[in-house]
Structure 1
Amino acid sequence: MEPSEVIKKLLPAFERYYTVKNEDITPPFCAEAEFRSHNEQYFLVRSAHIADIDSNEFVYFASPDELTSEKLEELVNTAWNAGLAKVHPYNGHRNSDVTLLIFTKSISPETAITIKKTKLYKSYKFSFHGWSHFKLAVCNTTDMTIYTNRQGKDYAKLINKNIKSPS
């Protein structure tokens, strides 16, 4: 299956909770999805406001024909920097995660090891203003093998459910 076909098949799974964009996206990516959640806590009545809680996630989709370690590093850095540019930490900010989903025809063996070791984290004011994690999932569309870093394991389940299921 072609990587672009896999992405078209996966995007409807995101449309329920995420705002999906196919136009005006960051250059090396073919689609973006954005999730924003705002919650408030108060004591008994709304005028006794205690806290705001904001949680965000920025998802980037890429479909290179071949994934090498250099290409992976370029995509990871671009997604991480583009995602962090959208973060506005304040005392009510909880987390803003950046996710990169890559669909490719071939992956080199050393790249599979690099995927597993990829870890990016940023805290804002010692986590008092929240934090950001980087989630990574890579799908080899020729044999439907999925590689993830530790934070991206949930996306392996999502891809399995939506791509490998008959339709």
Structure 2
Amino acid sequence: MKFTDYVELLVQRMEKYFDIEKNSVFFDRKYEIKAEFLKRETQTFIFKNNVMDFTESREICLVRKVQDINDIKCELEQVEHILKETVNPSRHHQSTIVTLVLVHDSVSKEMASLVKKFRFRKLYKMGFWGWSEGCAVLVDLNAGKVHSSVYAREKRKFFSPDMRLK
């Protein structure tokens, strides 16, 4: 599968849930896709207009083609920086998740192990002010395989280059 075909496949899968920007610049880096999802849960009293409290959850998905293992290292370091800059912990913040999707034509064992070892999770005020999490997914276009970090295991099927999973 070609990278452009994979990008179009992801756009089809994401457009139902995310606000998508193609060829976007985010924190001084160019990404093929920047997809953002914001959910606001409200607690009301008697009428739906009487909002007493609310919480917000946010998910950002960034897709980029990488050239070598050094690109992967730089991108994984960037996830922590992105989370520190985008999260505004408060009692209304529930969660922020940044999913980094790195695409390569042929993935080596070193690349896959680097992504599998990646972990980032932070609680704010013992979880009362929410939490943030960094996920990493590495897609091998030639083999059709998906490698992921611990926190992104449930997302493997979604990012699979298999056309049958639309």
The C-alpha deviation readout for 1:51-102, integer Å capped at 9, x for no partner, is 31100001110112x341x321201122332344222221011000110011
Q: CA separation of 1:155/1:57 partners in 2, compared to 1, >3 Å: closer, same or farther?
A: same
**Structure 2 residue matching 1:159: 3-state secondary structure:** coil
What is the TM-score with the length of structure 2 in the denominator? 0.87
Percent identity, please: 19
Q: Report the TM-score, using the length of structure 1 for normalisation.
A: 0.86
Matches within 5 A, 1:79-158: 79-158=79-158
Query: Alignment RMSD, CA only?
Result: 2.2
- Relative to structure 1, is the Cα distance of residues 63 and 50 closer, same or farther in structure 2, using a 3 angstrom cutoff? same
Residue identity matched to 1:57: E
CA gap 1:117/1:8 in 2 versus in 1, 3 angstroms: same
Q: Which runs of 5+ in 1 are unaligned?
A: none
One-letter amino acid of the structure 2 residue matched with residue 119 of structure 1: R
SS in 1 for 2:153: helix
Deviation at 1:41, TM superposition (A): 1.0
Give the deviation of 1:46 after TM superposition: 5.2
Displacement, 1:50? 4.2
Structure 1 equivalent of residue 13 of structure 2 = 13
Counterpart of 1:164 in structure 2 is: 163
The answer to whether the Cα contact below 8 Å between 2:24 and 2:31 also exists between their aligned partners in 1 is: no
The one-letter code matched in structure 2 to 1:12 is Q
> Cα gap change, 1:47/1:8 in structure 2, threshold over 3 Å: closer, same or farther?
closer
In structure 2, how many angstroms separate the alpha carbons of the residues matched to 1:134 and 1:106? 24
**TM-superposed deviation, 1:141:** 0.3
**How many Å separate the matches in 1 of 2:39 and 2:82?**
19
Q: Distance in 1 between matches of 2:80 and 2:5?
A: 25
Q: Please list every run of 5 or more consecutive structure 2 residues that lacks an aligned counterpart in the other structure.
A: none
Structure number having the greater strand percentage: 2
Aligned position for 1:61? 63
Task: Report how many aligned residue pairs link the two structures.
Answer: 164
User: What secondary structure sits across from 1:158 in the alignment?
Assistant: coil
